[in-house]
């Protein structure tokens, strides 16, 4: 073989090897996994907002327990759980019938005590007037007795007449003491009657307060967060013990 032909074969062989190598590299690059894309930004100051999701219960900051001051049956319940209420709003009513009867009896006791006081004062006035009358009679009887004593010494009047004047004087003096004792007793009775009036009036005031407390009002504005009673139930008042919790306002 001539020298020029051998050179051509070598050249073509090298070219074939190069083509195969290029094809292999191309196939390798084609099947090579792509890397993650990375974005690049200029560094700046930013506020990072972090949100956290969680489950839980919401409790009110202020929650007021509502109980009745008096015991009795709930005859009216004017709210439901979840209702919005304002301070001073009527929430419920306790049966007032028994309390109304107590107020009537209390008022009658006051009237009776006042009548007894008026009678005691009348007796004081009566015995005082009686004492004044006896004192006037006693002054006259003493004058008569003094005059009869002189006449008796002079023999003008008899022993019987003189003794009669002395007897009248002693009777009037006894009547005066009795009148003064009656005055003291009637004054003591008047003081006792006055105390009875004051006591009856104080009791009546308490009974009227209890009657007013049969109406249950909201102490604050808010929402009925819980309702523990129904109409017709009996509740225990806080005056006697802890009391029945009727509802809560938050």
Can you give the CATH number for the domain in which 246 is found? Answer: 2.40.50.100
User: What CA–CA distance (Å, rounded) separates 184 from 181?
Assistant: 5
User: What CA–CA distance (Å, rounded) separates 68 from 215?
Assistant: 9
Residues 6+ apart with CB under 8 A from 12: none
What CATH number should be reported for the domain holding residue 154? 1.10.287
Q: What is the pLDDT of residues 68-109, one digit of tens each?
A: 999 999 999 999 999 999 999 999 999 999 999 999 999 999
Model pTM score: 0.64
Is the pLDDT assigned to residue 200 strictly greater than 80? yes
pLDDT at residue 16 in the model: 72
In Å, how far are 12, 215, 216 from 66, measured between CA atoms?
106, 12, 8
Q: What is the pLDDT of residues 171-191, one digit of tens each?
A: 999 999 999 999 999 999 999
- Please indicate, yes or no, if residue 50 is contained in any of the structural domains: no
pLDDT cut 90: percent of the chain above it:
64
User: What CA–CA distance (Å, rounded) separates 102 from 210?
Assistant: 10
Instruction: Tell me the three state secondary structure of residue 49.
Output: coil
- Please indicate, yes or no, if residue 201 is contained in any of the structural domains: yes
Quick one: average pLDDT of 216-226?
Answer: 96
Tell me the residue range of the domain where 72 lies.
Answer: 61-95+214-250
Same domain, 144 and 237: no
72-77 vs 234-235, strand pairing mode: antiparallel
Same domain, 130 and 180: yes
Residues 6+ apart with CB under 8 A from 82: 223, 224
The number of domains in the chain is 2
pLDDT at residue 243 in the model: 87
Token representation of residue 227 = 């309702």
pLDDT at residue 5 in the model: 59
Instruction: Scan for tokens 């008096």, then name that residue.
Output: 70
Residues 6+ apart with CB under 8 A from 214: 68, 70, 72, 93, 94, 95, 96, 99
pLDDT at residue 59 in the model: 56
215-217 vs 90-94, strand pairing mode: antiparallel
């Amino acid at each position: 073989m001539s020298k020029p032909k051998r050179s051509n074969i070598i050249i073509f062989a090298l070219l074939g090897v190069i083509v195969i190598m290029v094809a292999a590299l191309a196939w390798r690059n084609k099947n090579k996994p792509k890397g993650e894309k990375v974005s690049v930004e200029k560094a700046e100051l930013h506020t990072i907002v972090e949100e956290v999701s969680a489950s839980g219960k919401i409790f009110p900051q202020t929650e007021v327990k509502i109980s009745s001051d008096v015991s009795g049956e709930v005859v009216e319940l004017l709210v439901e759980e979840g209702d919005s209420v304002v301070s001073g709003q009527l929430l419920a009513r306790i049966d007032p019938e028994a309390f109304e009867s107590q107020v009537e009896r209390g008022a009658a006791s006051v009237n009776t005590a006042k009548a007894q006081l008026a009678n005691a004062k009348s007796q004081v006035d009566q015995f005082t007037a009686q004492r004044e009358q006896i004192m006037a009679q006693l002054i006259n009887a003493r004058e008569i007795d003094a005059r009869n004593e002189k006449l008796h010494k002079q023999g003008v009047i008899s022993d019987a007449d003189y003794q009669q004047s002395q007897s009248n004087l002693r009777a009037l003096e006894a009547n005066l003491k009795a009148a003064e004792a009656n005055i003291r007793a009637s004054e003591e009775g008047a003081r006792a009657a006055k105390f009875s009036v004051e006591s009856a009036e104080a009791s009546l005031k308490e009974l009227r307060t209890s009657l007013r407390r049969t109406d249950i009002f909201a102490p604050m504005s808010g929402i009925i967060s819980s309702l523990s009673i129904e109409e017709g139930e009996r509740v225990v008042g806080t005056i006697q013990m802890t009391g029945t919790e009727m509802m809560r306002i938050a």
